[in-house]
Each structure stands twice: as structure tokens, then as C-alpha cells.
Amino acid sequence: MIRNTISALHNHKANISLRAADVISTLGEAEQDPNLPSFSRVALQPAVSKLESIHD
């Protein structure tokens, strides 16, 4: 999953806003995974916040 999100961000064929939206969606799905440890969920929140500022 992490490799896919990094690849999506490095895909310069798409607009940065679109790339950010795709990664936000992927990370949002990961945050909903009950198997994800809580410390990982907390660690994802700042990354999602930064991507949301790019997406806007």
C-alpha cells in the first residue's frame, strides 16, 4: 500500500491535486482497517492533513 501511494504521488502525468486526492482516499481506507495498529493510524493523520492542503 505505501509503495502504491508513493508511486501515485510521483506520477507526474496527473495533476498534483488529483494525485493528492487519490492518496488521501487510499490512506483513508487504510485508517479504517481494524487491523491497523492505533499508533499507525495516528501517524497517518498528519500526512493526510498535508495532502488535504495540497488537494484544496
Q: Please give the pLDDT value at position 25.
A: 92
What the block records as the C-alpha cell of 20 is 493528492
Percent of the chain with pLDDT over 90: 50
Q: How far is CA 24 from the centre of its chain?
A: 4
Q: Where are the domains of the chain?
A: 2-55
User: pLDDT tens, 14-34?
Assistant: 899 999 999 999 999 989 999
Q: Pinpoint the alpha helices (H) of 1-56.
A: 2-9, 16-31, 38-55
Q: Which whole-number Å values give the CA distances from 27 to 30, 40, in the listed order? A: 5, 11
Q: Please give the pLDDT value at position 5.
A: 85
